[in-house]
């Protein structure tokens, strides 16, 4: 089932969606390859971010799960590194995908997952319109009087339960100081960029 460009499979495991986004972003990369000689490296990075990564990570808050199939994770990492090969000086095939991302100051899919889930946590914690998610989060939270960071349980009984937002917050365990959640979204984003994307 296709909803607003997101492909839902029957088991909500997201392999078809991962392949769909990779195929779409590859078409954008072909266009960038044709015009890359007219841009500096800094301009190309902006172009890649706007025209490639925006497609690759479109609505990834829904489908880029921490428990995503390992094969899909590898495909995403490879796809995320593809445009960076174009702009990396002295690129050779021995370079790892992680080092390509680090050298070009671009987030890997794993880092992007952490960052986007952190933003979802802040929104759930502070947005009254997300009352259902807030309730789920509250009951999944590990409470401790001495705790200084947010911690959660995954209460899913089946794999499909990993899609529930409150169950996904376990990847942030012991990473987000509780005091950050009371700050504005702008301030919180700055903290999380430093924590996850640098």
Q: For the segment 174-183, what is each residue's pLDDT rounded down to a tens digit? A: 999 999 999 9
Res 191: pLDDT: 96
Instruction: Tell me: pLDDT of 145 over 80.
Output: no
Average pLDDT over all residues of the chain: 91
Res 139: pLDDT: 87
Query: Do 96 and 120 belong to one domain?
Result: no
Which DSSP string do the residues of 58-99 spell out, in sequence order?
A: TTHHHH--TT--HHHHHHHHHHHHHHHHHH-TT--TTS-HHH
Query: Do 96 and 178 belong to one domain?
Result: no
Res 60: pLDDT: 94
Instruction: Tell me: pLDDT of 124 over 80.
Output: yes
Query: Do 165 and 77 belong to one domain?
Result: no
Please identify, among 78, 104, 130, the residue that sits at the C-terminal boundary of a domain: 104
Query: Do 59 and 76 belong to one domain?
Result: yes
Query: Do 43 and 72 belong to one domain?
Result: yes
Query: Do 124 and 190 belong to one domain?
Result: yes
Higher-scoring residue by pLDDT: 87, 117: 117
Res 35: pLDDT: 92
**Count of domains observed in the chain:** 2
Query: Do 40 and 64 belong to one domain?
Result: yes
Query: Do 18 and 80 belong to one domain?
Result: yes
Res 66: pLDDT: 92
Query: Do 55 and 90 belong to one domain?
Result: yes
Please identify, among 59, 85, 104, the residue that sits at the C-terminal boundary of a domain: 104
Instruction: Give the residue-averaged pLDDT of 70-88.
Output: 94
Query: Do 6 and 99 belong to one domain?
Result: yes
- Comparing CA positions, the residue from 130, 115, 139 lying closest to residue 193 is 115
Instruction: Tell me: pLDDT of 129 over 80.
Output: no
Range of the domain at 188: 113-196
Six token digits for residue 185: 């979204």
Dihedral angle computed from the Cα positions of residues 127, 132, 137 and 140, in that order, rounded to the nearest 10 degrees: 170
Query: Do 31 and 77 belong to one domain?
Result: yes
- Tell me the β-bridge partners of 6: 3
Res 92: pLDDT: 83
Res 131: pLDDT: 81
Query: Do 82 and 122 belong to one domain?
Result: no
- Comparing CA positions, the residue from 136, 142, 82, 129 lying closest to residue 109 is 82
* Sign of the Cα pseudo-torsion (98, 103, 109, 115, in order): positive
Please identify, among 104, 131, 159, the residue that sits at the C-terminal boundary of a domain: 104
Res 130: pLDDT: 72
Res 132: pLDDT: 86
**Model confidence over 29-71: pLDDT tens digits?**
999 999 988 999 899 999 999 999 999 999 999 999 999 999 9
């Amino acid at each position: 089932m296709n909803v607003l460009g997101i492909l839902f499979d029957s088991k909500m495991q997201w392999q078809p969606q991962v392949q769909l986004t990779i195929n779409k972003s590859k078409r954008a990369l072909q266009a960038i390859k044709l015009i890359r000689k007219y841009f500096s490296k800094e301009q190309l990075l902006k172009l890649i971010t706007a025209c490639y990564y925006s497609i690759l990570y479109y609505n990834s808050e829904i489908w880029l799960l921490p428990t995503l199939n390992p094969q899909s994770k590898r495909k995403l990492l490879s796809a995320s590194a593809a445009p960076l090969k174009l702009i990396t000086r002295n690129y050779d095939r021995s370079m790892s995908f992680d080092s390509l991302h680090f050298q070009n100051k671009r987030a890997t899919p794993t880092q992007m997952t952490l960052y986007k889930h952190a933003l979802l946590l802040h929104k759930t914690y502070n947005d009254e319109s997300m009352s259902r998610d807030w309730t789920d989060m509250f009951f999944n939270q590990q409470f401790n009087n001495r705790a200084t960071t947010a911690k959660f349980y995954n209460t899913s009984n089946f794999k499909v339960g990993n899609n529930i937002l409150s169950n996904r917050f376990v990847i942030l365990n012991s990473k987000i100081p509780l005091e950050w959640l009371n700050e504005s979204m702008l301030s919180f984003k700055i903290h999380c960029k430093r924590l996850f994307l640098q």
